[in-house]
Amino acid sequence: MSDDRKKVIFSAIQPTGTFTLGNYLGAVRNWSPLQDEYNCIYAIADLHAITVKQEPKLLRQHTLEAYALLLACGIDPNKSIFFIQSHVRTHVELSWILSCSTQFGELSRMTQFKDKSAKHTDDVNAGLFTYPVLMAADILAYKSDLVPVGQDQKQHLELARNIAQRFNSRYGDTLVVPEPYIPKTGAKIMSLQDPTKKMSKSDENPNACILILDDKDTIVRKFKRAVTDSESEVCYREGKDGINNLMSIYSSVTGKSFDEITSEFAGKGYGDFKIAVGETVADALASVRDGFNRYINDKAYLKECYTKGAEMALKVSSRNVSKVYHKVGFVDNELYR
């Protein structure tokens, strides 16, 4: 009963094949603790993924891997609705309706569209352009109150709010206008090789980026090679981008404050600090790696989870989307439910 009064949180992640320490500390690690306090709805955004070229076989594999990885990160299909976006048809259906409440000019102003269309000049497809409308549909189909998003998705969330408000003023109060959810923790993780750049799996230097599924030796080795500065004191200070990044990582994994870290490593050099960060990160990721290996090899369990998730997601969202259909003026359809 009290469940009905819990706020709804929606978030989704694209099945990119590999996830980085940045994805982990900045996003998915924070999703699991939310499950007790909120009604959480989480999806693997495979529909979004095809806005750029994908190898179909790999997309299927990466989608299952992303699902298994999130289970390993603590998403509990008994507590949350956890599904694969393409399994739930209401997302695409609502997306069309919302696209008719979205202006061409608004979409043209999206910085991600501008960046991606500049990068993929041979395939500036309409899906790349309407991507934020589908994202708005993901969120609005569940009457979501809160959406945890990183910096790069803020503009899309703002657009989703504008679309919801516009729809409501045209058709009457129907959609919930979502708020961004800013997690209490969630440091921005920078490249280990150029700490002024965000950590990215597409970095050409493999030492720049820690992958969630890297083994311990690899993780420690990458941290040992992390770029720092010519000083020797482990402390957080402007200009010490490399050390600041390592401190943020260490702090977000251990919960220690910067001051505590500075005293822990007083009198020790960067070398000791780097090894400590590497080992701590590797140990924290060990259970995720074990869980991932277990889930990805249990296809029957995976299927049971994502099927149940899609069933629940469809039930909730089709109730909301059929209200939207009615408000728009479509003839009620008994088959829809």
Q: Of these, 8, 9, 11, 19, which contacts ligand TRP (CB under 6 A)?
A: 11
Q: Which stretch binds ligand TRP (CB under 6 A): 5-13, 120-128, 169-177, 267-275?
A: 5-13
Residues 7, 79, 201, 216: which is the catalytic one? 201
Amino acid at 241: D
Told to check if 88 binds ligand TRP by CB under 6 A, we report no
**Exposure class string for 15-32: b at 16+ Cβ within 10 A, else e:** bebbbbbbbbbbbbbbbb
Q: Minimal distance in Å, beta carbon 315 to ligand TRP?
A: 19
Told to check if 81 binds ligand TRP by CB under 6 A, we report no
Q: CB neighbours (10 Å) of residue 60?
A: 13
Q: Which stretch binds ligand TRP (CB under 6 A): 50-58, 72-80, 133-141, 221-229?
A: 133-141
Residues between 18 and 57 with contacts to ligand TRP, criterion CB under 6 A: 45, 48
Q: Which stretch binds ligand TRP (CB under 6 A): 11-19, 162-170, 259-267, 293-301?
A: 11-19
Per DSSP, the three-state class of 44 is strand
Q: Minimal distance in Å, beta carbon 14 to ligand TRP?
A: 5
CB–CB of 189/183 below 8 Å? Answer: no
What single-letter DSSP state applies at residue 100?
Answer: T
Q: Which stretch binds ligand TRP (CB under 6 A): 4-12, 117-125, 253-261, 299-307?
A: 4-12
What single-letter DSSP state applies at residue 192?
Answer: S
To the query of whether residue 274 is one of the catalytic residues in this protein, the response is: no
Contacts of 237 (CB under 8 A, 6+ apart): 243, 244
Q: Is 169 exposed, middle or buried (0-12, 13-18, 19+ CB in 10 A)?
A: exposed
Locate 317 and state its tokens.
């969202």
Per DSSP, the three-state class of 12 is strand
Residues between 135 and 194 with contacts to ligand TRP, criterion CB under 6 A: 135, 138-139, 147, 149, 153
Q: Minimal distance in Å, beta carbon 33 to ligand TRP?
A: 17
Q: Which is nearer to ligand TRP, 45 or 211 (CB)?
A: 45
Told to check if 277 binds ligand TRP by CB under 6 A, we report no
Maximum separation of any 2 CA atoms in the chain, in Å: 75
> Can you tell me the distance from the alpha carbon of 198 to that of 227, in angstroms, rounded to the nearest whole number?
14
To the query of whether residue 119 is one of the catalytic residues in this protein, the response is: no
* Residues that contact ligand TRP, how many (by CB under 6 A): 13
In DSSP terms, which residues pair with 146 in a beta bridge?
9, 179
* Residue positions annotated with a catalytic role: 116, 198, 201
User: Using CB under 6 A as the criterion, which residues of the chain lie in contact with ligand TRP when the complex forms?
Assistant: 10-14, 45, 48, 135, 138-139, 147, 149, 153
